[in-house]
Structure 1
């Protein structure tokens, strides 16, 4: 069993969040720096990288995985002009950190874009003993071409007046995009290091990878079926256990046989940002409830001490989306947390059991959504905060929105901000527990008024019922959990006295209407419902569309500020349903 701890490390002005995995006795034969991909690929492979770190620790090695500056939970802005240099500095800092721990043998591993970032950062890292290029993207030009093509196909275009460059799960400043485009793995930067090139067969046949392999003249590992790990078609990336074991064995085989004591200092608090007025924004690492769920608390300015457990200051609890970590679109919660802190509002974001940095990944599976265990995790998180319900706001996207409503209905929060909510039942049938989200969305604005050929009979019946079934019967089916009727959850929140704002992308607003949400609102208004429905003019369910994500951020912030009276409500550019 490995020993793990989270810690901030690196420059005090731009600290990185890392997770260290150590052998149980604290002695290691060497250390491995794990450099992740970017955007959605980092999101999809997060659990697999964690599983590799756990396997390395089992084999007697220390492993450090981390978020680059401006990504995940680390400090920095993702759209900084200096972003690429910041990612490379992050690799250098990680290598320096493991070297300072006392490890004499150092391996650097990079997955996908992480291989490109790591390889181009190596000249500044000092001597390393081994390098693993895991399914590498060999040039920034290829990376941007692939990412831009995928973004355009799935999300459509962005506002042309905003020059930032969107990729799936992130956004780049134009200067950073140009720097990234110029990057290329040069085998000479790996000279003197033992190398492993792990590639998909199709990639190995390309001229760029073939040339790199010849120049490296190192070991190789074929990766069959790797797409289901790096680019999964479902919410469940397939962790390639056999391939991870072979990579871990290769790294271990080159490490010294004698283990040395290593020391990684634990730093549980850090200044992650500074306001325009010069006030520091602090975050602390915490573990919530009896199952010690990993959490980060962002302390509101002026309330770093009062903003802890038992606080009477306004606090926001973020619920994660499905099986996602705070990467890609989910970095929205990180950015909102720091925005709230600048106005004196504390916040907590956490990982439920088996997700992100709570629990293990190797030989384990995440806790299913909408299960009794996930219910318990939500309850434990709220209880661990020690915040008066009158001071608590809860929010999340999709399944996170459902859990925000679940907490509110139980009288544990003052305000619920439900983002891209699709499950409107309080009674969850087994079939609904299996419904983790809609299909991968198409370009914004693409929809169909009638179901396409090949749609199952059940779906056709549901489509008919949505349009023609008397609303009272439709509502009754919603009460039973057979259909999704917004009135069911919203009425429960009204009865609980929870101030409610529903924030919907264009795609989810269409779904809201299809579920007869406007009829729901008319009935709710007659009973005194004062909640708001904020509908964006564009955007997808997952928050991958850049401008749609900006709308979500602005709408959530306005709802929280408005409720706590911290700032006058800023106008939100959206379509309001009332």
Structure 2
């Protein structure tokens, strides 16, 4: 009998940063190799790089940019030359499929209306590069370069591009829009609103890093600090102030939609996000903030997955209907985006 370690941390992680028991996986593979004595046979797989995945929708496997980012492009079988595109960014170390295949379903659904949808793996994630035990750090120079290379690979100008992502993928959407331009962004469960964000590793994601005294001090600052000073420390990158990022996108002419789970909306409100929305509204800001009735930050629950799909679809319909074929049917398999809108 042999035992393997690390299962508890892998199956029930303390946060969404999962510790993969690499040593245990090697031990299991070695045991299988020793135990299974059946004769070996030669396998010669036939690799297909394109397939029709549903009526009117075709997908191709591609490698993007100088770092060969693995990607899947979903397109209608009859693609118009001026068709708009949706680019979907990774969440932390999660690959292009997304939680519960939400990005697969979204991509094929929108491709059926006439759009191109591109979802990719940044370096260190999924099928891009070689697998290592290193954490693919968020917001690093390499991660930002991957965003730009993926945007270039869409092949469309900024006025025909929308982007979406969850958490760090939402920040990547905003970063790309501010760096290279975009028509719209759908940001789901965004926690980081600083434009001076430094790269993030597992040490920052594994749980609360501050003591009770520091937490209490921040609570007092949020409650009593005048809002203009609150904006200043947000601009300096010392805390997360939603208005900083939202105002920058507004100035850049980017349409913004936010979808927030209950816990993420609580964070948005705690960071005085509603105050920022009211201020921006007085300056003509008409973007939408949807507080979902339920769901989790990582988008593992089906309800908030459906809400996200519906919001992405609604934005695509709002922004791009004139560019899509007259037969595009936005009513297919619609699901209710439950929640209140600010």
**Alignment match, 1:344:** 114
Post-superposition offset of 1:429: 4.2
| Equivalences for residues 250-261 of structure 1 within 5 A | 250-253=31-34
1:508 alignment partner, SS class: helix
Matches of 1:487 and 1:378, distance apart in 2: 23
Post-superposition offset of 1:246: 2.4
The yes-or-no answer on 1:459 pairing with 2:215 is: yes
Report if aligned partners of 1:562, 1:568 keep a CA contact under 8 Å in 2. no
**Alignment match, 1:526:** 282
Selected match of 2:131 from 356, 361, 366: 361
Report if aligned partners of 1:369, 1:436 keep a CA contact under 8 Å in 2. no
Matches of 2:258 and 2:100, distance apart in 1: 18
**Alignment match, 1:552:** 308
Structure 1 unaligned regions, length at least 5:
1-219, 275-279, 440-453
| Equivalences for residues 176-191 of structure 1 within 5 A | none
**Alignment match, 1:378:** 147
Higher deviation after alignment, 223-232 or 517-526: 223-232
Selected match of 1:335 from 100, 105, 121: 105
Matches of 1:236 and 1:229, distance apart in 2: 9
**Alignment match, 1:25:** none
Matches of 2:275 and 2:206, distance apart in 1: 24
Matches of 2:184 and 2:206, distance apart in 1: 24
Matches of 2:211 and 2:42, distance apart in 1: 61
Post-superposition offset of 1:295: 0.7
Specify whether residues 415 and 433 from structure 1 end up closer, same or farther in structure 2 by C-alpha distance, changes over 3 A only: farther
Report if aligned partners of 2:15, 2:205 keep a CA contact under 8 Å in 1. no
Q: What is the alpha-carbon root mean square deviation over aligned residues? A: 2.7
The yes-or-no answer on 1:389 pairing with 2:158 is: yes
Matches of 1:437 and 1:314, distance apart in 2: 38
Post-superposition offset of 1:402: 0.2
Encode CA deviations 1:408-466: one digit per residue, 9 max, x unaligned: 11233111111111100001146799644878xxxxxxxxxxxxxx9521111111111
Matches of 2:141 and 2:49, distance apart in 1: 31
Matches of 1:495 and 1:295, distance apart in 2: 31
Structure showing greater Rg? 1
Report if aligned partners of 2:261, 2:304 keep a CA contact under 8 Å in 1. yes
**Alignment match, 2:27:** 246
Using CA pairs under 8 Å that are at least 6 residues apart, name the structure with larger relative contact order, 1 or 2.
2
The yes-or-no answer on 1:471 pairing with 2:236 is: no
Matches of 2:145 and 2:200, distance apart in 1: 20
Matches of 1:378 and 1:287, distance apart in 2: 14
Report if aligned partners of 1:299, 1:345 keep a CA contact under 8 Å in 2. yes
Specify whether residues 323 and 504 from structure 1 end up closer, same or farther in structure 2 by C-alpha distance, changes over 3 A only: same
**Alignment match, 1:575:** 340
2:2 alignment partner, SS class: strand
Specify whether residues 421 and 464 from structure 1 end up closer, same or farther in structure 2 by C-alpha distance, changes over 3 A only: same
Selected match of 1:284 from 60, 67, 82: 60
Using the size of structure 1 for normalisation, the TM-score is 0.53
1:356 alignment partner, SS class: coil
Matches of 1:517 and 1:332, distance apart in 2: 27
Specify whether residues 319 and 551 from structure 1 end up closer, same or farther in structure 2 by C-alpha distance, changes over 3 A only: same
Matches of 1:332 and 1:429, distance apart in 2: 28
Higher deviation after alignment, 534-543 or 388-397: 534-543
Report if aligned partners of 2:86, 2:118 keep a CA contact under 8 Å in 1. yes
1:394 alignment partner, SS class: strand
Specify whether residues 321 and 515 from structure 1 end up closer, same or farther in structure 2 by C-alpha distance, changes over 3 A only: same
Matches of 2:32 and 2:10, distance apart in 1: 21
Post-superposition offset of 1:251: 3.5
Q: Give the count of matched residue pairs.
A: 332
**Alignment match, 1:212:** none
Specify whether residues 431 and 370 from structure 1 end up closer, same or farther in structure 2 by C-alpha distance, changes over 3 A only: closer
Post-superposition offset of 1:495: 1.5
Matches of 1:253 and 1:462, distance apart in 2: 56
Report if aligned partners of 1:394, 1:415 keep a CA contact under 8 Å in 2. yes
Selected match of 2:190 from 418, 421, 438: 421
Report if aligned partners of 2:5, 2:21 keep a CA contact under 8 Å in 1. no
Specify whether residues 478 and 421 from structure 1 end up closer, same or farther in structure 2 by C-alpha distance, changes over 3 A only: same
Encode CA deviations 1:151-202: one digit per residue, 9 max, x unaligned: xxxxxxxxxxxxxxxxxxxxxxxxxxxxxxxxxxxxxxxxxxxxxxxxxxxx
2:164 alignment partner, SS class: strand
